[in-house]
Structure 1
Amino acid sequence: MVTLKKIYTSIGLFFLIILLGIIGFTSWYTVDESEQAVLLTFGKIDEGIIDPGLHFKMPWPIQDVKKLSKETFSLQFGYREENGEVVEEFPEDTKMITGDENIVLADLVVQWKITDPGKFLYNAKDPENILYNATSASLRGVIGSSKIDDVLTSGKAEVEANVRDLLTKLMEDYDIGISILAVKLQDVELPNEEVRKAFTQVTDAREMMNTKINEANKYSNKRRQEAEGEKDAIISKAEGDRAARIEKAKGDVAVFNALYNEYKKHPEITRKRLVLETLDQVLPNADVYIMSDDGGTIKYLPIRPLEGNQVVPTPKQQDSERSGKNE
């Protein structure tokens, strides 16, 4: 016969087994390498990020564990992508006005991760939605203070950097445990085909202008280098001429000093020698003779170099020839 005592005992044993099971299954937990966890004691954060491995705690409901991923997440602003393909676009989110009052469509990707699980879980109801709205505000603020040329061409890197800095500041102010790793603009384009075509033409013209400027600078540098080379060559030649003239002047001085010393020793001989040398320099092709008078008959001695085998007669032979002719 089943008594009331046995019923109470059975119920007590049942609850005891359940309690022991809860204690056994909730007194330990594991944290994977790709996870981070936060330990709660009566709903209050007791510990922050816990190292990977096996850990023990007080059984539920005294202590509880919340686990979050350590991976890097991607926020796709202005579109939704699945398996590498865009499956949905949000043009109303991406339509913005630049600082020079032009309309552009801009979307981007934000790389972020959870750095404080406690703040991510309990400082905001929907931190990812806050991140999305903060991204929109940051991008619109930067685009709104930029010119359309910078946004569409060479200023994209600066836009990305400014959006990253502004979004990082907002996340620090909101204090929701999120860190921004990178911001990358995906597409920045004009709203319709006609505007895109006109802007493309302007961009092509600007690129052609830059090309011509680069070519002109290249030609200018080439001509400048050639001019520098010619200048150096002229200077070098002038330096060589200067050195040669200095050496020649030194040689002339040495010759003059030598002549002067000889002149002091033998002035008459040196004077005649100088006269003859000067005549030879001034009249190189002239016939030079040494003349003398002797009793009415002029005798001369040609000193021009002999030409061929012609024999020049001596003064006596010349007198004999004259006497024969007179007879």
Structure 2
Amino acid sequence: MGVVQRFGKYVRTTGPGLNFKLPSGIEKVTKVKVRHIFKDEFGFRTIRAGIRTQYAASKAYLSESLMLTGDLNVAVVPWIVQWRIKDPYKFLFKVRNVRGTLRDLAEATMRLVVGDRSINEVISKRQEIASQAQKLLQKELDEADTGISVRTIEMKKTNVPEPVQPSFNEVNQAIQEKEKMIYQALGEYNKRIPQAKGNAEKTIKAAEGYALDRVNRAKGDAARFDEIYQEYAKAKDVTRRRLYLETIRDVFPKLGKKYIVDEEQKNFLPLLNLGQAEGGEK
């Protein structure tokens, strides 16, 4: 698009195609690339892009990416802002140094977002941080009337400064081992507790069944005793005799060998050899 100025004052904005303007010195046209996607890099610079991209020395731009996290750790956070011009008039006339303003607002926004996160979140949740930073940056740019639309914010590999990387890795390893032990303990807990509850429930059910069986048997025995007693009350001699015979019938087979001797028998010793093999047989 073309922005036309007449004697330095903004007059109109023209679109693509055939347009007319007054001769040079009266009107001036400034072409603005509204479809072009611009890119600003923070914490690093690309010297030559290609299959083997070359970057400038990281230490030269380290100050842009060094940030303090919410848990008071220092992180190295490089990122890229891709943007385009959505309003040529605002982009040219509302802000004196629009490119510098963009970089300052982008850096301030990223530091604000990173400052609300822990170091682990900054490393592991880059997409979430980039999305939040893009929304905040666009809001700040609109309030500043820059005429810029932020297309994307891409966060590069985030890490801690090189001098503290070994210690940071050891801390991360310890945290991972701690979480592993917690998960193992929870797994064992989830395995043992239901099993113990099942065994307890089984024991309770077995005890309840045993108690019910004993109670029913006791009630049955009591009812049987009542019935026998009623019959006994009706005919005591007959019932007593029947009970005696039934008891003998149940007990007598359990006594083993039995010898029935006539009370008038004087000598019963020879009878003790009955049923045994003869002494001469071997």
Is 2:130 the partner of 1:163?
Answer: no
Is 2:98 the partner of 1:127?
Answer: yes
- The aligned counterpart of 1:259 is 228
Give the TM-score normalised by the residue count of structure 2.
0.64
Q: Which runs of 5+ in 2 are unaligned?
A: 266-274, 276-282
- The aligned counterpart of 1:87 is 55
Checking the alignment, whether the CA contact within 8 Å between 1:95 and 1:105 is kept in structure 2 is yes
Q: 1: distance between equivalents of 2:128 and 2:143?
A: 23
Q: Name the CA shift for 1:142/1:249 in 2 (closer, same or farther; >3 Å).
A: same
- The aligned counterpart of 1:77 is 42
Alpha-carbon distance, 1:69 to partner:
4.0
Q: Which runs of 5+ in 1 are unaligned?
A: 1-36, 299-309, 311-327
Is 2:76 the partner of 1:105?
Answer: yes
Checking the alignment, whether the CA contact within 8 Å between 1:38 and 1:118 is kept in structure 2 is no
Picking from 201, 210, 216, the partner of 2:179 is 210
Q: 2: distance between equivalents of 1:224 and 1:232?
A: 12
Alpha-carbon distance, 1:128 to partner:
3.8
Aligned residues: 250
Q: Name the CA shift for 1:106/1:261 in 2 (closer, same or farther; >3 Å).
A: same
Q: 1: distance between equivalents of 2:185 and 2:3?
A: 69
What are the residue-to-residue correspondences of 1:1-327 with 2, within 5 Å?
43-44=10-11, 59-60=20-21, 68-70=33-35, 74-81=39-46, 82-83=49-50, 85-88=53-56, 89=58, 90-98=61-69, 102-144=73-115, 146-148=117-119, 150-151=121-122, 153-154=123-124, 156=126, 159-160=129-130, 162-192=132-162, 194-249=163-218, 251-252=220-221, 254-256=223-225, 258-260=227-229, 262-263=231-232, 265-278=234-247, 285-286=254-255
Q: Deviations over 1:184-240 (max 9, x none)?
A: 421323333x42112212221221122122222222222212212212221332343
Q: Deviations over 1:223-280 (max 9, x none)?
A: 2122122122213323433443454345445534543554455443333333444566
Identity of aligned residues (%): 29
| Structure 1 vs Structure 2 CA RMSD | 4.4
| Structure whose CA Rg is larger | 1
Larger RCO, structures 1/2 (Cα 8 Å, 6+ apart): 2
Alpha-carbon distance, 1:107 to partner:
0.6
3-state SS of the aligned residue for 2:78? strand
> Which structure has more strand as a fraction of its residues?
1
Alpha-carbon distance, 1:174 to partner:
1.4
- The aligned counterpart of 1:32 is none
